[in-house]
Amino acid sequence: MPVSEFSLIDRYFAAHGLRRPDVALGIGDDCALLIPPAGCCLAVTLDTLVADVHFFAAADPEGLGHKALAVNLSDLAAMGATPAWATLALTLPRADEDWLGRFCQGLFALADRYGVQLVGGDTTHGPVITITIQAHGFVPPGLALRRDGARPGDGVYVTGTLGDAGLALAAAFGKVGIAAEHESYLRRRLERPEPRIAQGLALRGIASAAIDLSDGLAQDLGHILECSGYGARLEVDGLPRSPALTATLDRDAAMMTALTSGDDYELCFTVPPAGAAQLEAIAATWECRCARIGVIEAEPGLRLVRADGSACHLERLGYDHFG
Ligand code: ADP
Ligand code: MG
């Protein structure tokens, strides 16, 4: 790699201040040397964002830095893991220092809030901006929030509101008009998702299963159902929706968006009836909403029920990259 790129790495990535005692050696050698806590499981996850597939190439780099890390921290949250370290593979068409500086601002602002240290990575030239982050966290054995633990009778819950990111994306593509008063809220929901780390940690020992919502509620809850071997009934008129979503879309379009649009990065989880009161007490302290949206049933499949008890059918289930 040319000398100028070593200095870029030094200036933008190695120079950043945060130091964790469990990082024996960070950026600058052939490998980072990390000291995981004794007896803990290491939770490892990786997500890639590709220009013009996952974001507009001209998108605000600060937002990209935030989102590239946020989607990985969201996976740690959905596992009930405490975030610790990250690595970053960056492919750039050119060494644009302004872009890098702002990307790092977004990345490190979020990393610092959760005490995450960037410990290494790779920087390469390539035709389009590609951002890959691997995040590492810790979870005590037996306490991880897996997808396979839901049982009939467990309540189905979600954090926050659903469909905002999908609505923001539809607006960006000119498919729907949104009132000026909702614009900044919706853009924030798409570009600056807040990983539900505190919620994931609080759900250890309470939730029987969990997943983060990247591809839409119907599809992502479907993974819990498949892994657990059961089905669910959802009360679709009770799905938590923001004022922006309700004001923009009619009842059916809002429901479809809440059920099938991706990129919300909220948590969907299940809790046995015995834990419902404890969950309610804990969720009362959260800065985001927590809504009970349905129940796990023995019969496989997802059943959607309206407030009047009538059944409802989905035309399509979430976003499928190869669909
Ligand atoms: P090598 O050729 O041994 O893989 P590199 O030249 O790719 O080394 O990287 C030099 C050092 O800088 C390594 O410690 C690597 O982890 C770190 N590094 C490179 N790119 C990044 C990046 N985008 N973010 C964080 N660290 C990086
Ligand atoms: Mg390398």
Probe target for ligand 1 pocket from 9, 11, 16, with the most ligand atoms within 8 Å of CB:
9
Q: How many CB atoms lie within 10 A of CB 144?
A: 16
- Would you place residue 314 in the very low, low, confident or very high pLDDT band (cuts 50, 70, 90)? confident
Q: Which pLDDT score is estimated for 2?
A: 54
Give residue-wise pLDDT tens across range 50-97: 999 999 989 999 999 999 999 999 999 999 999 999 999 999 999 899
pLDDT, the chain, mean: 94
- Is 10 close to ligand 1, i.e. is its CB under 6 Å away? no
Give residue-wise pLDDT tens across range 262-312: 999 999 999 999 999 999 999 999 999 999 999 999 999 999 999 999 998
* Average pLDDT of span 107-125: 96
User: In the chain, what percentage of residues exceed pLDDT 70?
Assistant: 95
- Would you place residue 8 in the very low, low, confident or very high pLDDT band (cuts 50, 70, 90)? confident
How far apart are alpha carbons 145 and 270 in whole angstroms? 10
pLDDT of 322 above 50: no
CA separation (Å) from 75 to 81, 82, 210, 295, 299?
Answer: 9, 11, 10, 23, 28
CA separation (Å) from 174 to 45, 50, 71, 76, 313?
Answer: 33, 21, 25, 33, 27
Q: Which residue has the higher pLDDT, 315 or 151?
A: 151
* CA-nearest residue, atom 27 of ligand 1: 121
Q: Which pLDDT score is estimated for 10?
A: 82
Q: Which pLDDT score is estimated for 321?
A: 45
Are the C-beta atoms of residues 163 and 169 closer than 8 Å to each other? Answer: no
Please list, in sequence order, all residues whose beta carbon lies within 8 angstroms of the beta carbon of residue 10, skipping any fewer than 6 positions away. Answer: none
- Is 315 close to ligand 1, i.e. is its CB under 6 Å away? no
pTM: 0.94
| Biggest distance spanned by C-alpha atoms of the chain | 67
Probe target for ligand 1 pocket from 123, 129, 132, 133, with the most ligand atoms within 8 Å of CB:
123
- Is 243 close to ligand 1, i.e. is its CB under 6 Å away? no
